[in-house]
Amino acid sequence: MQRKKFRAFLPVLFLFIILNGMFISGRPYLSRWHASQDVLIWGNLLLFLITLGSFFIAQKGLKSANPHAFTRSVYGSILLKLFVCMIAAFLYIAIYKKELNKPAFFACMGLYLIYTFLEVTGLMKLLKEKV
């Protein structure tokens, strides 16, 4: 079963590796769009770590015999991820007020949606295999 859990998380891991590779090697392209390389790399790392944590929280819900426990754990993990990202965004905005890099900030918002989609897709695969 551990192998199946790891396979469900592989798309998230691949996304993280590919995006970091693109952000590190694509500095000229990022500067063309006025996007900060540092903001994108740190945002991608934060999103990956939060997704990893919320994936394991939701995965614990799969072990329960109660089907509502899985739903609660998925919603709880997504809410946890949302609030941690909101706090990180507010801190970034408060610290860098006028120097805020909007292209990178909005790119991180899009990455949040992609990471959440991949996480829920992987969890749904695990749920189908459980049934």
Structural domain boundaries enclosing 21:
2-130
For the stretch 85-104, pLDDT in tens is: 999 999 999 999 889 999 99
Q: Is the whole-model pTM more than 0.85?
A: yes
Sequence length of the chain is 131
Number of independent structural domains in the chain: 1
pLDDT tier for residue 131 given thresholds of 50, 70 and 90: low
